[in-house]
Amino acid sequence: MKTFNYHSTKDVKEATKLASSSSAFLAGGMTTLPSMKLGLASYKDIIDIKRIKKLSGIKASGKSVTIGSTTKHAEVANSKEVKKAIPSLAALAEGIGDPQVRNRGTIGGSIANNDPSADYPSACIALNATIHTNNRKISADKFFTGMFETSLKKGELIEAIEFQIPEKSCYQKYPNPASRYAIVGVYVAKHKSDVNVAVTGAKACVYNEKSIASALSKNFSSSSLDSVKISSSGMNSDIHASADYRANMVKVFAKKAVDAC
Amino acid sequence: MASLVGSRVERKEDKKLLTGRGKYTADVTFAHQTYAYFVRSPHARAQIKNIDTSKAEKSSGVVAVLTGKDIANDKIGGLIAGWRIKSEDGSDMKVPAHPPLASESVNYVGDHVAVVIAESLDEARNAADLVKVDYKVLKAVVKTDQAMDSENIYKDIPKNLCFDWLLGDREKVKEAFDKADKIIKIDLINNRLIPNAMEPRAANADYNPSTEEITLYTTSQNPHLARIIISAFNGVAPENKLRVIAPDVGGGFGSKIYPYAEEVVCSWASKKIERPVKWVADRTESFLSDCHGRDHVTHAELAVKNDGTFLGFKNETIANIGAYASVFATVTPTYLFGPCATGVYKMPAAYSNVKAVYTNTAPVDAYRGAGRPEATYTIETLVEKAARELGMDPAEIRMKNFPTEFPFQQTLVHSVDSGDYNAGLKKAMEVGDYKGFEKRKNESASRGKLRGIGFCSYFEACGIAPSAVVMSLGCGIGLWESAEVRFNPTGNVTVFTGSHSHGQGHDTTFAQIAADRLGVPLENIEISHGDTDKGPFGYGTYGSRSLTVGGTAIVKACDKIVAKGKKVAAKMLEVNESEVEFKDGEFIVAKSNKKKTIGEVAFACYLPGTYGEVKSPLPEGEEPGLKETSFFDPGNFSFPAGSHICEVEVDPETGNTEVVKYTAVDDFGTIINPLIVEGQVHGGLAQGIGQALYENCHYDDSGQLVTASYMDYTMPRADNFPEFNLGFTCTPATSNPLGTKGCGEAGAIAAPPAVMNAVMNAVGTEVSMPATAEKVWKACQKMNKSNSKAA
Ligand SMILES: Cc1cc2nc3c(=O)[nH]c(=O)nc-3n(C[C@H](O)[C@H](O)[C@H](O)COP(=O)(O)OP(=O)(O)OC[C@H]3O[C@@H](n4cnc5c(N)ncnc54)[C@H](O)[C@@H]3O)c2cc1C
């Protein structure tokens, strides 16, 4: 690991002021630290944001659940509010990695990183989330722009993620047996006026599988997907699963999710 | 006194190991410590045109940058292959030079090219980035089954062939096959694995210029062997000037049997710079440069009669031994593999032909089971296929071919002293409720799942090994074991063993043996191992040998102690030696109440003068002290055996496969500590199931290791396993006085075929290891298609 300056601050303004083109915010460090150790990334300044109180915590209203960016996966998994309002979101958090990762990794870090096989991005898309940053609000469908890419500007800090409470929802994933990230994860959410089917792990970036979503908006049952065909074009292919397998699993896991809603 | 042998004594060493009080090589830091970082090849195959170290040498904190040229100038020898194998045509195996630091070519990603030694690890690592190696990249040879048709990696090794070995009789096999009703054929891949010991390899060498002595701390299963190799073959220091200490070692599974380049380089470099040199592998280095395991491509055939009787077996295997021939790399796919490939059966004719090939991948050597898992996987998937094709019950076909009389002369090499294979299989069927399988299958089906059942009956040859036998087969060392039992004057005991514990629980099991034999309480016995300056030479731990060979040496040394003790006690009690009996720690005069405890006798041995009332108890001519040494060379291998039954559940929609029931019934002969044995079985099963369903080492076509981290290499975890049902049968071994057979490798040997047979039973077609979701899903699709055609 290359040497770096470590800053720890209690204040959003100070954190963003410290940010530069060669800095990174440090939340759980579950992605940042391994990549620094492996020499894949190096920064001049590391800005620890875990002590900024207002970034952590969970608030629920009748319509939405808002989760502070440094809230840990384990906190989301165990939260009474989340379990009551959006049980599928608590279940998703419970299924991330392992206990060590869940006790350190944060929701803000996860979506800022936008790993193509991370779980939370699918929740953001499926639950029409709004990403609150230090200077604007971004809707989820504009936030995830590509592999490990988001619409965050350099030094922009995620403060919270606001999820719309759906009528019903369920997340199902086939975990990579080694890392337990999603090989394919499908988050189905039925809202009053629409259905979202967010797919992660399958392509370079999380996306809304419109063919399944539209079939489900007509008839919210797994049998309505029998005739849907998912093409393998643009799907990831690696030592764990081929594009063809992933394409098939998108539908299989969408069905499982609908059945479990 | 109740016997400790057979009781579930909790592991004495666990408190230290579980509370962070163990002492590992990485925990050792010397005054004036320096840190080494190795420059490794990023290419699978390349010529080294030039190495420019000038920038690195000027980098902050750097003490030295050493390359292959330096090591060659100092005439340090290369790494060795310890077992000479001859080809079928009588020619010797072909072995390339394996310098501790490469100077002309690199032959796998991770190959050691140069070492940077600095005041801190960070400085060493930063400077390593500045070592400029000019490579001419060559086309890599990667795939096992294509190695013989690829470019020669070494110019004097045609077809990349190390040897083409035959065990058995081709003619006899042909005759047997001519008589067969049916020939069952199978093509298999035994997937390559990475051992992944919890503690990465490490070395810390401290040269003392005034005594010219090197103390080397290292992660070794085998410190004495490390010493003799580093001394006699690498020529770093004479044996009397090299002390090798393997302190607590966090697992080895075979990968830490042999010294690697890093230990040699650290020892040599310490001498060169006259400061201690420490190296600790990071996890990536472990993936890249620890010896890997398995990696066979096999075609095998079984000739059978319609009633299921086996007539003959043939096995054509290509074994990938990686870029260089490591210490036990050549015996693992030959004598540890071939003889066991006929399985636990009467087999009138058989041969095993193995072609060992070099590729541009990390060296492959012994890994838990070493050769026997590959053998067992071959025969047991073949037997299960025979049962399917003949429409027989998998248990019935096995029982039909089990030998029932012992000693049993196995087809290719071994004379198996004891066993009862029918009893084992019957017990497994009982413990695993074979009868209830159909019911469980229907229940699974009601949840949309396919349930399959698979058997494996195995035997293996371990307790390695009778020296005369192995040396006649090409082994460069004897494989006996030593023990020294030392009574301290105050009556407690230190036992030195030449074997080494790195998770096996010797501190407890060996103490139980000595406690029983000497009648001394367990807490008064300490087991010492892992230091060449303490206790006699020994051969370390692997091949399920420690208890059977090393434990026996302890028994023999204890018996010598008792024999001397009798003489001394007789003198003390003023009777004839023949009147003294030894029982539960006491020397007793028959039919009297006269006795001396072994502690009193020990004390007397150390204080042989006259002291008040006490007169010298030593018989004339007897030396003072109470310490005995024994070297035990077994007369035969030992032959654990057993039957395992696995049930899996497959989700046909995703291909996800789960082991839902696993029954293992093993015959390890006498069991000293059931708690430890069960732990060994559990660990072996985890690795065996891991091989079947999860683990796979993958190199891409250019020779880059794709599975170089836990993000891609699937280590099984606790939640991948059901509760294991264990059972035991016991036919004591006759080749050692304890009657033990060895339990460390059984799980890893038996589990892969049991699991894979269950998968194939569930999905109806052959699936290769590891049975990943996608492979199983494809098999399910195929089954659906053929079912819908049939309907
Ligand atoms: C072994 C392992 C298994 C895992 N398994 C899974 C899994 O199954 N599913 C899954 O989804 N994930 C998985 N993860 C990832 C984990 O969930 C973490 O959430 C993720 O690594 C990032 O979160 P973090 O808090 O650790 O972020 P960090 O590592 O601290 O930061 C990651 C990136 O986000 C930036 N960042 C952090 N917080 C903010 C913020 N508030 N505003 C702007 N930028 C920010 C950082 O600067 C950095 O670039 C796994 C990780 C590991 C190590």
**A40 in contact with B at a CB cutoff of 8 Å?**
no
DSSP string, B223-255: HHHHHHIIIIIS-SS-GGGEEEE--B----TTT
| pLDDT at residue A26 in the model | 98
Instruction: Tell me whether residue A115 is in a domain.
Output: no
Residue B37 pLDDT exceeds 90: yes
> Is there a domain that residue A33 lies in?
yes
> Residue B786: what pLDDT?
83
Please identify among residues 248-287 of chain B the ones whose CB lies closer than 8 Å to any CB of chain A: 284
Is B653 within 8 Å of chain A by CB? yes
The CATH number that domain B370-464+636-790 falls under is: 3.30.365.10
Mean pLDDT, residues A243-252 taken together: 98
Q: Any idea what the CATH number is for the domain that residue A220 is in?
A: 3.30.390.50
pLDDT higher than 70, residue B178: yes
Ligand 1: centre distance to CA A129 (Å)? 18
Last residue of a domain, one of A33, A52, A71: A52
Residues B521-550: what's their mean pLDDT? 95
Q: Does A249 touch chain B (CB under 8 A)?
A: yes
Mean pLDDT of the region A73-92: 98
pLDDT (average), residues B87-101: 98
Atom 45 of ligand 1, residue of closest alpha carbon = A109
**Three-class secondary structure assignment of B714-733:** CCCCHHHCCCEEEEEECCCC
Ligand 1 binding site (Cβ under 6 Å of any ligand atom): A 24-32, 49, 69, 96-97, 101, 105-106, 108-110, 112-113, 118-120, 157-158, 179-181
**Equal fold, B370-464+636-790 vs B480-632:** yes
State the pLDDT at residue B198: 96
**Cα distance from B336 to chain A (closest Cα, Å)?**
31
CB-CB under 8 Å, A174 with B773: yes
Query: Which position has the token pair 């764990």?
Result: A240
- Domain B14-138+201-280: CATH superfamily, name plus number: Aldehyde oxidase/xanthine dehydrogenase, a/b hammerhead (3.90.1170.50)
Checking if the pLDDT of B742 tops 70, the result is yes
Q: Nearest CB to A179: which of B654, B698, B711?
A: B711
> What's the pLDDT score for residue B636?
95
State the average pLDDT over residues B222-248.
97
For residue A214, pLDDT over 70 is answered with: yes
Find the domain containing A237 and state its range.
173-260
Residue B193 pLDDT greater than 70, yes or no: yes
CB-based contact B694:B756 (threshold 8 Å): no
pLDDT of residue B3: 86
How much is the average pLDDT of B585-602? 94
Residue B656 forms contact with A (CB below 8 Å): yes
* Mean pLDDT, residues A83-89 taken together: 98
Ligand 1 atom nearest to A55, measured from its CA: 41
Mean pLDDT along residues B692-703: 98
The pLDDT of residue B785 is above 90? no
Is the pLDDT at B332 greater than 80? The verdict is: yes
B611 interfaces chain A, CB cutoff of 8 Å: no
pLDDT of residue B614: 62
Which tens digit of pLDDT belongs to each residue from B648-687?
999 999 999 999 999 999 999 999 999 999 999 999 999 9
Of B694, B706, B777, the CB nearest to A239: B706
Which residues, numbered 166 to 185 in chain A, qualify as contacts with chain B under a Cβ-Cβ cut-off of 8 Å? Answer: 174, 176-179, 181, 183
B258-271 tens-digit pLDDT: 999 999 999 999 99
Does any CB of chain A come closer than 8 Å to the CB of residue B704?
no
The answer to which of B193-202, B433-442, B580-589, B608-617 has the lowest mean pLDDT is: B608-617
Q: Residue A39 Cα, ligand 1 centroid: separation in angstroms? A: 17
Per-residue model confidence (pLDDT) at position B610:
72
A179 CA: distance to closest CA in chain B (Å): 5
Question: How far apart, in whole angstroms, are the C-alpha atoms of residue A211 and residue A250?
Answer: 11
* Strand, coil or helix: B565: helix
pTM: 0.96
For residue range B380-431, what is the model confidence (pLDDT) as tens digits?
999 999 999 999 999 999 999 999 999 999 999 999 999 999 999 999 999 9
Residue B245's DSSP bridge partners are B217, B531
Residue B274 one-letter amino acid: E
Checking DSSP bridges between strand B349-357 and strand B161-168, what pairing results, if any? antiparallel
Protein residue whose Cα sits closest to atom 14 of ligand 1: A97
The average confidence (pLDDT) of chain B is: 96
How many structural domains does chain A have? Answer: 2
Q: What is the 3-state secondary structure (H, E, C) of B392-450?
A: CCHHHHHHHHCCCCCCEECCCCCEECCCCHHHHHHHHHHHCCHHHHHHHHHHHHHCCCE
Q: What angle do CA A222, A213, A245 make, to 5 degrees?
A: 70
**What is the structure's pLDDT at A1?**
74
Q: Which of B394, B422, B386 is nearest to B406 (CA)?
A: B422
**Distance (Å) from CA A16 to ligand 1 centroid:** 19
- Cβ under 8 Å to B: A residues 52-111: 98
Mean pLDDT of A175-190: 96
Span B123-148, pLDDT tens digits? 999 999 999 999 999 999 999 999 99
Size of interface A-B (CB pairs under 8 A): 47
User: Per-residue pLDDT tens for A33-43?
Assistant: 999 988 889 99
Residue A205 lies in a domain: yes
Q: Which ligand 1 atom minimizes the distance to the CA of A33?
A: 29
Beta strands B213-218 and B242-245 are parallel
The CATH number given to whatever domain includes residue A6 is 3.30.43.10
In this prediction, residue B791 carries a pLDDT of 63
Q: B466 CA to middle of ligand 1, Å? A: 55
At A220, list the tokens.
């919210």
Q: How far is B284 from chain A (nearest CA, A)?
A: 9
**DSSP-based three-state secondary structure for B37:** strand
Selecting from B653, B710, B773 the residue whose C-beta is nearest the C-beta of A178 gives B710
**Residue A27: inside a domain, yes or no?**
yes
**pLDDT at residue B321 is higher than 70:** yes
| Nearest CB to B774; choose among A38, A245, A256 | A245
For the beta sheet containing A137-139, the strands, ordered from the edge strand earlier in sequence to the opposite edge, are A58-60, A64-68, A158-164, A130-133, A137-139
Considering the domain boundaries, does residue A121 fall inside one?
no
Q: How many C-beta atoms surround the C-beta of residue B143 within 10 A?
A: 17
pLDDT at B620: 84
Residue B616 reports pLDDT greater than 90: no
Whether residue A211 lies within 8 A of chain B, CB to CB, comes out as no
Question: How many other C-beta atoms can be found within 10 angstroms of the C-beta atom of residue B443?
Answer: 12
Q: Chain B partners of A2 at a C-beta cutoff of 8 Å?
A: 126
- B772–A177 C-beta distance less than 8 A: yes
Please give the CATH topology (third level) of the domain spanning B480-632. Aldehyde Oxidoreductase; domain 4 (3.30.365)
Can you tell me whether residue B56 is helix, strand or coil? helix
Tell the residue nearest (CA) to atom 32 of ligand 1: A109
Residue B1 confidence (pLDDT)? 59
Sign (positive/negative) of CA torsion A226, A229, A235, A237?
Answer: positive
Intra-chain end-to-end CA distance of chain B, in Å: 70
- Residue from B687, B662, B690, B684 nearest B744 by CA: B684
Mutate to test the pocket of ligand 1, among A67, A98, A110 (most ligand atoms within 8 A of CB): A110
Task: Print burial letters for B24-40: b (CB count within 10 Å at least 16), e (below 16).
Answer: bbbebebeeebbbbbbb
B613 pLDDT band (50/70/90 cuts)?
Answer: low
Query: Which residues, 6 or more positions from B472, have their beta carbon under 8 angstroms from its beta carbon?
Result: none
Could you state, in order of their start, the residue ranges of all structural domains in chain B? 14-138+201-280, 370-464+636-790, 480-632
Interface with B, mutate which of A240, A242, A246 (most B CBs under 10 A) = A240
pLDDT of A259: 97
